[in-house]
Amino acid sequence: MTSSPFIFQLGAVRGQIFTDGVGVSAPEVSAARYPDHVEQMRAEIGEAPVHGSRNVLLLDAGEERILIDTGEGKFNAVADGLLIPALRDHGVDLGSITTVILTHFHMDHIGGLLTEEGTPTFPNARLIAARPEYDHWLSEATLAALPADRAAFIRSTFAAYERVELVTPPAEVLPGIKLIPAYGHSPGQCAVLIESQGERLLHIADSWHIPAQLNLPEARIKFDAVPEQAIASRRALMERAEQENLLTLGYHFEFPGLGHVRRAGNRRVWIIK
């Protein structure tokens, strides 16, 4: 049996967070992912092992059943990844998902969109994504530079789904759900702000990967595509999360990844929900 989702309520919206897989890294291994700030990150992380996850958010909002990102799918070492079997095991009919919002097109976010046979995993869903992200990854220049299996996957994914809606962020894509530019980690990455009955949740996608970055926003992870832009986006979102006291979700934080960015003296702290 796959692990159970974390269930919460945001105003009238029911949220469930599924993990597509968890991992644990030694502090020095985690710090080494920040090539310009290895020593500083090592100090921020401390001595405890770093727990990570791929936290996939499912929202039930009226008639809409919305998934934000899809895990690694067949790119996972485990066949199908862990998200798809977890959804099935916990009573989520894949055909009941009406919308999949994609924060960005890295494989650990879009890999679950296709079945092993190459058909849509979510046969009745439309995809919503930011136009800058789509235009980057679907350009012939980008595809030509990718490993062949990834390029083929991207081409066939966006051909397999009949409805792909591209928006220019910031944009309200569904009532109370906004895509916010968080460019840099991937050229067109977006965060997602969800609001219902005055309650709000900020899904930061991969704007930062672990809470230990909160006091070192200038530390770029080696996967940031446009580092300076990623740093600026990260700073802005951290400030917003703190100043507006937003419930915040990190895609790669320890499961389920929900908490608040708070200030303690001259430092930021991550308070788990």
Cβ distance to Zn ion smaller for residue 108 or 224: 108
Binding region for Zn ion (CB under 5 A) out of 12-20, 25-33, 69-77, 101-109: 101-109
Q: Tell me how crowded residue 103 is: count the other CB atoms within 10 A of its CB.
A: 27
Binding region for Zn ion (CB under 5 A) out of 5-13, 38-46, 69-77, 100-108: 100-108
What's the N-to-C CA distance of the chain in angstroms?
Answer: 25
Look up residue 195 and give its amino acid.
Answer: E
CA distance 112 to 54: 12
Give residue for tokens 């296709």: 114
Among 69, 108, 195, 254, binds Zn ion (CB under 5 A): 108
212 to 251: interface string for Zn ion, x by CB under 5 A = ----------------------------------------
Q: Which of residues 10-69 bind Zn ion (CB under 5 A)?
A: none
Give residue for tokens 């058909």: 119
Binding region for Zn ion (CB under 5 A) out of 4-12, 143-151, 168-176, 206-214: 206-214
CA distance 12 to 20: 26
The distance of closest approach from Cβ of residue 81 to Zn ion in the complex, given in angstroms and rounded to an integer, is 13
- Phi/psi of residue 26, nearest 5 degrees: -65, 150
- Kindly determine how many residues on this chain lie close enough to bind Zn ion according to the rule CB under 5 A: 2
Cβ distance to Zn ion smaller for residue 195 or 206: 206
Binding region for Zn ion (CB under 5 A) out of 134-142, 156-164, 204-212, 225-233: 204-212
The distance of closest approach from Cβ of residue 206 to Zn ion in the complex, given in angstroms and rounded to an integer, is 4
Look up residue 200 and give its amino acid.
Answer: R
Give residue for tokens 């703190």: 242
- Phi/psi of residue 226, nearest 5 degrees: -125, 85
Q: Are 86 and 5 in contact (CB under 8 A)?
A: yes
Q: Are 261 and 215 in contact (CB under 8 A)?
A: no
161 to 200: interface string for Zn ion, x by CB under 5 A = ----------------------------------------
How does 82-91 read in b/e, with b if 16+ C-beta sit within 10 Å?
bbbebbeebe
133 binds Zn ion (CB under 5 A): no
CA atoms within 13 A on the CB side of 133: 32
Cβ distance to Zn ion smaller for residue 44 or 206: 206
The distance of closest approach from Cβ of residue 108 to Zn ion in the complex, given in angstroms and rounded to an integer, is 4
The distance of closest approach from Cβ of residue 111 to Zn ion in the complex, given in angstroms and rounded to an integer, is 10
Work out whether strand 164-167 and strand 171-174 pair parallel, antiparallel, or are unpaired: unpaired
The distance of closest approach from Cβ of residue 127 to Zn ion in the complex, given in angstroms and rounded to an integer, is 17
Cβ distance to Zn ion smaller for residue 20 or 108: 108
206 binds Zn ion (CB under 5 A): yes
The site for Zn ion (CB under 5 A) is made up of: 108, 206
